[in-house]
Structures are given as C-alpha cells and as structure tokens.
Amino acid sequence: MKKYFQREFHYDFLLLEFIIANNLYSEKNGLESAILSYEERSEEIVIYGVKYGDRFATKLETLETEMSALLNLPLTEKIIREGIVEYHFQTVKPERLVIETSTEMEKHTNKIEINLGYGIVYSPVECPHILVSGGTGSGKSVFISYLLLEFFKRKSTVYICDPKNSDLGSLSHYLGEEKVATSPNNIARVVRLAVTEMNDRYKYMNENFKYGSNAIDHGFQPVWLIFDEMGAFQASGTDKKSKEIVNEVMNGLKQIILLGRQANVFILIAAQQMRSETLSTDLRDNLGLRIALGANSSEGYRMVFGSATPETIPPIEVKGSGLLYKQGTGKSGEYYESPYVDMQKFDFIEELKKYI
Ligand SMILES: Nc1ncnc2c1ncn2[C@@H]1O[C@H](COP(=O)(O)OP(=O)(O)O)[C@@H](O)[C@H]1O
Ligand SMILES: [Mg+2]
C-alpha cells in the first residue's frame, strides 16, 4: 500500500482556508460560519460538514469537487445524514494486481473468493453474476481471461458463448467443442446445458433436502457461463427463426440470473455497449458485480450502474482501468484497475493447460 502523500497535512489550517475561500462564513450579523471537522483513519480521511439548518446547509452537501481539489485525493464516498455530511477521501492508493505465471504449488484452491486486485475481493456466492462492459480495446478479453483461470483454479465447469468467434471462441480446442459455442444454434445448445445443470441441481437438492444447506454443502462445484459480445448476439436475431433462438437464449440467461446462485451456477456477461434492449434494467440489477472498462459516456455508465452511477467520473486513462460496482457495499461505481497482464511474458494458453 502506498501513501498518496508523504507530506503531513495540517488539516485544521486547510479547512479554515477552505471555509474562507468558499465563502462558508459571513460577518453580517455577527460572525456566522459553517463548521467543518475531520477524522483521520488508517486508509482514509473523513471531512464532516455540520448542518445547523442555516444557510450553509445546502452548500455543505455539494462540496465534493472543491474538497477533492483541496486535498488532491479521490473522493470515495459522500454520505448525507440528517445533521451531518461526510466526505470520505482515500489516502492510501490501492494496488493493481499483477498476473504472473503460477507455480505448481498453487494449482487449485478451495477459496470461493477471487482477488480482483485494487482492494476488491469478489465472492460469487455473496454477489452472484458479473457484467463487464467496455468498447473495443478497453480490456474486456484480458479481464475475462484472468477470471477464466480463477474459475478453473476453483474446479468450475465453464461454458463459453462467443458469438463473434474472437478470443474466447478459439478455446474450444482446449475446453472441448461441447462447452464452447460461436454459432447461434450452438449457443442455444450450450445455454440449455447450463440451465439443465442448474435445474438438475435444484431437483437433487429438493430430493435430498437438508435444512439450511446450499449447493456447496451438496458438493456442487461452481458452473460459470461466460457470454461475450451479448449485443452482437442479439443483433443476430434478424428473421423469425433467428429471433426465436435469441429469445430462447435470453430466457435461459434470465433463469440463471434469477435462480443460479442457490445452485452455484453463475453467469458472466460481456458487452461493448449496454442498452436497455441488451438486458432489462431489472435483470441488470441482479448482476452483483458490474465493471465498465475504459472511458465511457455518462449515459453508458448509467446503463451499467443505474442508480449506482457516481456523480463525478474520475479520469480513466490507464489500459484496463474503469469503474467497478459491487452489490451490497452501499457504494456507487468506483475507480478500478483490472489485473495487469504483461502480454509479452504471460502465456494464457500455457497457464490454462495447467488447470484443465
Ligand atoms: N489488464 C491489462 N493488462 C495489460 N494490458 C491490457 C490489459 N487490458 C487491456 N490491455 C491491452 O489492451 C489490449 C486490448 O485489450 P482487450 O482485452 O483485447 O480489449 P477488448 O476485449 O475490450 O476489446 C490488449 O491486447 C492489451 O495489450
Ligand atoms: Mg474482446
């Protein structure tokens, strides 16, 4: 962990200056001033604005840009409470994960959680399903490849649908024709396989009912359905026959999104551009982890994050960086850098072969 700044701040002095510079005081009827205070925590500093119902109250709720500039730190959270506004700033910069060739020792793991780096740990059981969006070249394939290895380390069954037959489609050679699909008919077949597996698990668990037990207690390993280029697939539904296929597939995906978690069956959806026609907002809201890679329009972010779209979008310049939202944290989308892969050194296929 790196400190953003080595230099110690004199926060009292800074906040005093801030009040003056932003006109948060008045001398008209005696001295009136907004009250700011702060608390230094191990990885953040919290600035409090105390609201007295006076004329500074509204202004105190909208100071994020000014405060972020004052501290030169990224705002991680703003909480508006009844009597107080909290601005949280990160003082420790989270570190990006760097992917290296694994050793034999760390072949498989029983851990459910996946370390995504940058301070983010992901558990599909707590936060089922993943959405990755981003334009061409934003790093979707690199990120999905990383996840794919992590799925295999956890002895998962992985199904792949790649309607554009790009990077992932070529994995059929290693993962088997029956689990990797690129044509619409094959995609429908693979989705059916995943749905059937989910339903079979439900059936088994009902027949062998144990109160309070879940799929993992019954020994079911994770199933991951990776669906790349969702938008392109939907666009392929041009005539009656192909529309039927698209509908059937979307129906299958919907079942997995809504029912998968209990059966340890999950979906990862990737799309260049999210639209409400790509995935209804209801279904989108059931995808627990959502990542938008690369710079996007605010409308684009809204399609991914909905009400969790951050008010201010940080600059997104680093390859493989973007915004990440994890359900249940109460936070909006936050700046994130996906695991760094040195493309010259890292051989994805060689790595994959260790696990399959
Ligand atoms: N996490 C990353 N680490 C290192 N390089 C990356 C990363 N993400 C993207 N890149 C670079 O950007 C290129 C395009 O990424 P890619 O995953 O193919 O984008 P997309 O699938 O979104 O079109 C990669 O070939 C690589 O050079
Ligand atoms: Mg790609």
Every domain of the chain and the residues it spans: 2-93, 98-353
Residues, beta carbon < 5 Å, ion ligand 2? 140-141
- Ligand 1 centroid–CA 342 distance in Å is 10
| Closest C-alpha to ligand 1, atom 9 | 139
Q: What is the pLDDT of residue 31?
A: 82
Q: What is the pLDDT of residue 210?
A: 83
- Ligand 2 centroid–CA 228 distance in Å is 8
Mutate to test the pocket of ligand 1, among 132, 142, 346 (most ligand atoms within 8 A of CB): 142
| Tokens found for residue 178 | 């029956």
Distance CA 1, CA 163 (A): 40
Q: Which residue has the higher pLDDT, 224 or 40?
A: 224
C-alpha angle 149-154-159 in degrees, rounded to nearest 5: 65
From the CA of 135, the nearest ligand is: 1
- Ligand 2 centroid–CA 73 distance in Å is 33
| pLDDT tens, position by position, 52-96 | 767 788 899 999 889 988 888 878 888 888 889 999 998 888 899
* The pLDDT of residue 256 is above 60: yes
* The pLDDT of residue 4 is above 80: no
- Ligand 1 centroid–CA 6 distance in Å is 32
Residues with CB under 6 A from ligand 1: 134, 136-142, 319-320, 338-341, 343
* The pLDDT of residue 6 is above 50: no
| Tokens found for residue 338 | 């996906």
Do 98-353 and 2-93 fall under one CATH topology?
Answer: no
- Ligand 1 centroid–CA 147 distance in Å is 14
| Closest C-alpha to ligand 1, atom 16 | 139
Q: What is the pLDDT of residue 104?
A: 64
From the CA of 162, the nearest ligand is: 2
Residue 186 burial (CB count, 10 A): 16
| pLDDT tens, position by position, 260-307 | 999 999 999 999 988 888 899 999 999 999 999 999 998 999 999 999
Contacts 24+ apart (CB under 8 A), 115-122: 116/324, 116/336, 116/338, 116/339, 117/337, 117/338, 117/339, 118/94, 118/324, 118/336, 118/337, 118/338, 119/94, 119/95, 120/324, 120/326, 120/336, 122/289, 122/326
- Ligand 1 centroid–CA 166 distance in Å is 13
Distance CA 233, CA 98 (A): 32
| pLDDT tens, position by position, 119-147 | 899 999 999 999 999 999 999 999 999 99
Give the β-pairing of 130-133 and 157-161: unpaired
**Domain 2-93 CATH (choose: 3.30.70, 3.40.1000, 3.30.1460, 1.10.10):** 3.30.70
- Mean of pLDDT values over 194-207: 96
Q: What is the pLDDT of residue 5?
A: 45
- CATH architecture of the domain with range 98-353: 3-Layer(aba) Sandwich (3.40)
Mean per-residue pLDDT over the chain, rounded: 91
At residue 167 the predicted structure's pLDDT band, cuts being 50, 70 and 90, is: confident
Q: What is the pLDDT of residue 9?
A: 59
From the CA of 229, the nearest ligand is: 2
Least confident range of 40-44, 209-213, 227-231, 269-273? 209-213
* The pLDDT of residue 3 is above 60: no
* The pLDDT of residue 16 is above 60: yes
Q: Which of 33-37, 52-56, 254-258 has the highest mean pLDDT?
A: 254-258
Q: What is the dihedral of CA 99, 292, 275, 187, to 10 degrees?
A: 10
At residue 7 the predicted structure's pLDDT band, cuts being 50, 70 and 90, is: very low
Q: What is the pLDDT of residue 331?
A: 86
* The pLDDT of residue 200 is above 90: yes
- Determine the atom of ligand 1 nearest the C-alpha atom of 143: 1
